[in-house]
Amino acid sequence: MLHVLIGADDYSLRQTLEGIKKAVGDPTAVMSNTVVFDGRTVTPEQLRNACETVPFLADKRLVIVEGLLERFEPPRRNARRKASRPPDRSEEIKSVVDVARSVPPFAELVIIGGDIKASNPLLRELMPFSEVRSFPVMNQAQLRQWVERRVNDAGGSVSPQAVNTMVRFVGSDLWTMANEVDKLVLYAAGRRIEDADVKSVVSLVREESIFTLVDAVLESRVSVAQESLQQLLRRGEAPVQLLNMIARQLRIIFLVREMRSRGRSRGEIQAKLGLNSDFLIRKAWEQSERYTLARLRELYHRLLETDVSIKTGKMEGEIALDILVAELGIPSGKYSQI
């Protein structure tokens, strides 16, 4: 049988793949009768040989191919680059389709792809005789339902406000969401998960505090910046760790701004930077619009000076951070050296 699993929701796709593996048979037998190919380099002959090899001490053989559909994706249109005629790969597609059509009864062939276009020529050829399942990124309503179901399946309960906060912070990254839900269920220990629990446990809430601090510093709102700094310190954040987190955020803002200037889309930038959370890319996108490069450089250089002062023992960490926040609150950028 041929299965085609595609979509940007990698978590749901992988869960479905696990279901296929369980349906094939005993996990030990499946392990010894599974072969995985890189679709970017696999040949039709390799695929055919793998599918036609009789399973060893088992009823089924599992063949998984990742990246094969991407190999035949139509080229992206770029307004700055003159469109070129794509190469004719019809014979190569025909060879793959011939293998897929002739999968023997004792084999399960699973072709996995990411965010594949409907115009993909290989996908169009496979659709009439395969089980195609698509896993697009969930919308807000679907995410809320998913969180509630995950909590209920784990034997817990959750308030609507807590669900909304989780969706806001974690977004559509279900790998992270599943991990945070599991932590919250353990943390609540039988009682209903409330909004305060999410703010105490979910790791991305800390990221929001860093965003708030960075915004306040860059906008010279000294009192807000100092209050944000004190809240983070009271939570147990080490001064050097705070500097690293702020520096990381500034680096992301720089990169987002630079890639936007080259015409990259938000989705492309998110993938390039490896930002799994929609919340993180949204905040970085907003911040890249609001601040000048001169202001970003000023903060970055001051962070470096403060980091050196702390690590060389010139100043105690919390005092150095307080001075940093106060001096960067001066709009002119004039400050004394630490």
Residue 333: per-residue pLDDT: 44
Ramachandran angles phi, psi of 42, nearest 5°: -65, 145
Angle among Cα 303, 266, 328 to the nearest 5 degrees reads: 20
Residue 77: per-residue pLDDT: 59
Residue 337: per-residue pLDDT: 38
Local confidence band at 338 (pLDDT 50, 70, 90 cut-offs):
very low
Residue 148: per-residue pLDDT: 95
Q: How far is Cα 269 from Cα 213, in angstroms, rounded to an integer?
A: 23
Residue 220: per-residue pLDDT: 73
- The alpha carbon of residue 70 and the mean position of all alpha carbons in its chain are separated, in whole angstroms, by 19
Question: Is the predicted pLDDT of residue 140 greater than 80, yes or no?
Answer: yes
How confident is the model over 232-283, as pLDDT tens digits?
Answer: 777 667 788 778 877 888 888 888 888 888 888 888 888 888 776 677 787 7
Local confidence band at 79 (pLDDT 50, 70, 90 cut-offs):
very low
Residue 78: per-residue pLDDT: 53
Within a 13 Å sphere around the CA of 231, how many CA atoms are in the beta-carbon half? 16
How confident is the model over 83-133, as pLDDT tens digits?
Answer: 555 667 888 899 999 999 998 999 999 999 988 888 899 999 999 998 899
Question: Is the predicted pLDDT of residue 200 greater than 90, yes or no?
Answer: no
Closest CA to 284 of 203, 196, 218: 218
- Strand, coil or helix: what is 148? helix
Local confidence band at 193 (pLDDT 50, 70, 90 cut-offs):
very high
Question: Is the predicted pLDDT of residue 4 greater than 90, yes or no?
Answer: yes
Q: What is the mean pLDDT of residues 312-320?
A: 86
Most confident by average pLDDT, 151-160, 164-173, 274-283, 305-314: 151-160
Residue identified by tokens 């987190």 is: 245
Domains of the chain: 2-76+89-134 (3.40.50.300), 140-201 (1.10.8.60), 204-328 (1.20.272.10)
| Cβ contact 9:172 at 8 Å | yes
Provide the β-strand partners of residue 132: 4
| Cβ contact 115:8 at 8 Å | yes
Most confident by average pLDDT, 51-60, 109-118, 280-289: 109-118
CA distances from 76 to 7, 59, 81, 320 (A): 17, 42, 10, 49
